[in-house]
Amino acid sequence: MKVLVISDILEEKHRELIRETAEKVGATLGFCENEDSVPKDFEDANIIYGQAKRLAATSRSLEWLCASFAGVDSFVKPGAFANENCILTNSAGAYGVGISEHIIAVSLMMMRRITEFYLETTAGEWKRPRPQKSLKDSSIVALGTGDIGCNFARRARAFEPSALYGVCRSGRCSEPAFDEVFPVGKLDEVLPKAELLVMSLPSTPETVGILSRERINLLPDGAYVVNVGRGTAIDEDAIADALESGKLAGAALDVFNTEPLPKESRLWHTKNLLITPHVAGNLTVAYTVQRNVEMFCEDLLNYAAGKPLLHRVDKSLGY
């Protein structure tokens, strides 16, 4: 069994954990920084951890790809794997901590207008305070109640919102930080309660365009929207219109239909839009990379023992 680890971010302690685990299961182990530097004798690896689009699409030896990221939409498309039976796992569960910090940060930046104050002081201007809003006593809706949505909910709860609702496919979520969790079929009834709407959805046929122009209009006037899932979930032209008209007080987008966001996109110039370049789920956060490696090692033991993998992606669902 040949195991290849592709990453330019692991520290020695992470490599050591992988080495120990590979030794336990009797696997041959190779490391490289990216897909361009794969050692020749690992081109036919049976197991790969990391980002390996080329090898997935070409290698018939690949039996299991462990993605070091959570959003695997490009790997559930036809032709993504040369070996159609290749198992795909992802790292959903490692990013909730970091991404939920991003959500809290950008929500507060918008509601407290730190976006404006910061640009002003950076330009050497000390201006008078202006009205600010607060997470306290706000009504919050998390669209997506996976690892990200639940980590966000636990942190948001400490800010004493007036209400904190979740929305997910099934409507079932055991996270006690939510006041109530609704099935996505009730989304249109929940949106009018979303003074802050936080979206952390995978890209699937069901989520593409889910925040449509019509649904944006269901939000309360002056609402805020945060998206850290996939850009495909939002009608970008509609959200730009809603920001320009003042229907929305602000939006913070970390993900976009096309990334990097094209130079010609109107979003670059849209009022009250906080753009970050897909950095909410940065793998460099110590907890995230540690958990990421641990999850791979857990499943490497499972794989060697012929047990089901804990973090397997259902390719038909897309997550």
Cis omega (within 30 of 0) for bond into 260: yes
Near a second copy by CB under 8 A: residue from 39, 268, 310, 317: 268
Taking phi first (over 0 means left), then psi (-120 to 50 degrees means alpha), and beta for anything else, what does residue 244 get?
alpha
What SS3 state is found at 169?
Answer: coil
Active site residue 102: no
Residue 287 binds a second copy, judged by CB under 8 A: yes
Nearer to a second copy, 3 or 198 (CB): 198
What SS3 state is found at 181?
Answer: strand
Residue 102 binds a second copy, judged by CB under 8 A: yes
| Stretch in the footprint of a second copy (CB under 8 A) among 10-18, 21-29, 33-41, 97-105 | 97-105
Give the residue from 166, 206, 163 showing the smallest Cα distance to 186.
Answer: 166
Nearer to a second copy, 43 or 159 (CB): 159
Near a second copy by CB under 8 A: residue from 51, 58, 212, 276: 276
Residue 130 binds a second copy, judged by CB under 8 A: yes
CA torsion angle 50 260 166 310 (round to 10):
-10
Distance CA(57)–CA(53), nearest Å, equals: 6
Contacts for 70 with CB less than 8 Å, ≥ 6 apart: 90, 91, 92, 93, 94, 95, 147, 202, 281
- Taking the complex as a whole, how short is the minimal distance between the CB of residue 285 and a second copy, in angstroms? 5
Per-position x/- string for 173-202, each x denoting binding to a second copy as judged by CB under 8 A, each - no binding: ------------------------------
Site for a second copy, rule CB under 8 A: 97-98, 101-102, 104-106, 108-109, 112-115, 117-122, 124, 126-137, 154-155, 157-160, 259-261, 263, 268, 274-279, 282, 284-288
Residues annotated as catalytic (active site), given as ranges: 230, 259, 278
